[in-house]
Structure 1
Amino acid sequence: MKIPFLGPPAAPLDPALVAPMSVAARPELTGGRRIGVLVQHGFTGNPVSMRPWAEDLASRGYAVEMPLLPGHGTRWQDLNKVTWADWVATVETAYEKLASENDAVVAVGLSMGGALCLRLAADHGDGLAGICVVNPAVDTLRKDVKLLPVLKLLVPGMPGIANDIKKPGADEHGYPTTPLRAAASMFEGYAELRKDLPKITVPVLFFRSAEDHVVDISSSRALNAGLSSKDFEERVLEDSYHVATLDNDAPRIFAESAEFIERVTAPTEG
């Protein structure tokens, strides 16, 4: 049987297509305060999936840092050379830049990008004004994940998870293959994150697609049971699949997240 993922490396993605984004704040649009937003894509994806959201946030006057995670936006084989710790470090660097240049910082993310925002909130909750996550992954009901420590030693990748989008014609330009060493590291990171969910006390806005073929209901259950935040709301998206930031509910995500950011970054009276 021919195994399609054992062929030569695929052609890399266009660097311009997957480029990160860095935009300075325009305080004249945000009441005189400088507000920063960290925007994070997910596993096997790249900034394409988040660019419309990032551009919407920038148009509202927010500073935006949207990094490209190591191993992403090139060839899927490159992803097997990095780990969860590398992605956490990238998010930390983007956060530190925003925190040094702005009065308040919010983090937003999709899928694993949402998990990285949750990781950031667990580690730097005192410095974040809040987080907004879309179909964040922190757990799974899939039994085959338990086999990843062995499978990753036998095969480099399996069929990919990109483009779970309901809207016709939308394309996130994600990898066609899921690299197993990277996936194993990711799920190890999720396990540690679940233990630390009670450390998260900042406001959290959580969007979840009613039909998602990548992240199952276990992640929602974990967040509802584990977070310590007293300002937590889960909102269901009825007309989008996993990559909701490029799907039919994207305008709703943009508008409601902007309302959330404005609320949680408002200066406290007194």
Structure 2
Amino acid sequence: MPVLAGAEPYHHEGGEIGALLCHGFTGSPQSLRPWAEFLADAGLTVSLPRLPGHGTTWQEMNRTRWEDWYAELGKAFADLRGRCSEVFVMGLSLGGCMALRLAEVHGDAVQGVVVVNPSVVSDTPLLRLAPALKLVMASVPGVAGDIKKEGATELGYTRTPVRAASTLPRLWKLVQSDIGKVTQPVLVFHSPGDHVVKPASVAFLRQRMGENLEVRELADSYHVATLDNDAPLIFQGSLDFIRSHASVPLTKDL
């Protein structure tokens, strides 16, 4: 299946510190490419994979499930672990959820976590109905492109594949049940104006996590904040976070 122009994965070979970035549900690496390139310019080794079924067609995505997406992320993580002395994981929306899952599963192998508008709870009636809807509907209107910045666009599907979406509750349940295993420092960027992920996800993290959690608000962005007005705050904030929590200096800090 041909990959849409701009949806290709991205990799940059840098220094001893690695950053693994994960895009969101029905999105593509395009939504995180500027963030990835910013971290690469700072001297990091950066990996931004394309999740299976993404960046092609929603019909193809309907043949995949969360385990497929997480497996691809896991392969990229293992590769970075083999190349770098420390790895930070980051993600947008569903990608933030899977970044937290990596931290739960791999423990100290993840040095820290940065997530943007993470989706960790079922907060819309449509998604709760997805397991039943998949029997009668192949897709529903999409959620891509929630951006406040004029002229900015996200390369994502205009339709949400229902069969793929119906697998999300299982992932959310796993992340919720194991969230206490995340003891690494976690930085959350949250857009109060997000029209896709409701405040319940960040509220859950605040309730269940301890002093290792920091939440910063993005007052001038919607859901895809990595392409929105507050993107520079995310980019610089994540780099400062890495500098604060890495035990080895960035290549460009030497």
Give the TM-score taking structure 1 as reference length: 0.89
Unaligned runs of 5+ in 2: 250-254
- How many residues end up aligned between the 2 structures? 249
2:11 counterpart of 1:22: yes
Q: Distance in 2 between matches of 1:73 and 1:144?
A: 23
1:113 aligns with 95
Task: Indicate conservation of the 8 Å contact 2:122/2:172, yes or no.
Answer: no
2:191 aligns with 209
SS of 1:100 mapped into structure 2: helix
Task: Indicate conservation of the 8 Å contact 1:140/1:216, yes or no.
Answer: no
1:160 aligns with 142
Alignment-mate amino acid for residue 195 of structure 1: S
2:252 aligns with none
Q: Distance in 1 between matches of 2:123 and 2:48?
A: 30
SS of 1:255 mapped into structure 2: helix
Q: Distance in 2 between matches of 1:136 and 1:108?
A: 10
1:103 aligns with 85
Q: Distance in 2 between matches of 1:104 and 1:141?
A: 34
Map Cα deviations across residues 197-231 of structure 1 (whole Å, 9 max, x no partner): 11111100000001100000110111112235x32
1:175-214 equivalence runs, <5 A: 175-214=157-196
1:131 aligns with 113
Q: Distance in 1 between matches of 2:35 and 2:159?
A: 25
Q: Distance in 2 between matches of 1:89 and 1:243?
A: 24
Tell me by how many angstroms 1:173 deviates.
1.1
Task: Indicate conservation of the 8 Å contact 1:199/1:227, yes or no.
Answer: no
Task: Indicate conservation of the 8 Å contact 1:12/1:75, yes or no.
Answer: no
2:240 aligns with 259
Tell me by how many angstroms 1:108 deviates.
0.8
2:32 counterpart of 1:50: yes
1:30 aligns with none
Alignment-mate amino acid for residue 153 of structure 2: D
Task: Indicate conservation of the 8 Å contact 2:196/2:223, yes or no.
Answer: yes
Alignment-mate amino acid for residue 24 of structure 1: E
Tell me by how many angstroms 1:267 deviates.
4.1
SS of 1:170 mapped into structure 2: coil
Q: Distance in 2 between matches of 1:145 and 1:62?
A: 36
2:223 aligns with 242
2:130 counterpart of 1:148: yes
Relative contact order: is structure 1 or structure 2 higher (C-alpha 8 Å, sep ≥ 6)? 2
Tell me by how many angstroms 1:188 deviates.
2.0
Task: Indicate conservation of the 8 Å contact 1:140/1:215, yes or no.
Answer: no
Tell me by how many angstroms 1:135 deviates.
0.2
Tell me by how many angstroms 1:191 deviates.
1.6
1:221 aligns with 203
Alignment-mate amino acid for residue 60 of structure 1: A
Unaligned runs of 5+ in 1: 1-10, 28-33
Alignment-mate amino acid for residue 146 of structure 2: D
Tell me by how many angstroms 1:118 deviates.
0.4
Counting aligned pairs with the same residue, the percent is 46
1:6 aligns with none
Task: Indicate conservation of the 8 Å contact 1:38/1:108, yes or no.
Answer: yes
Tell me by how many angstroms 1:148 deviates.
1.4
Task: Indicate conservation of the 8 Å contact 2:17/2:248, yes or no.
Answer: no
Give the TM-score taking structure 2 as reference length: 0.94
Residues 66-75 or 185-194, more deviating? 185-194
Q: Distance in 2 between matches of 1:130 and 1:197?
A: 14
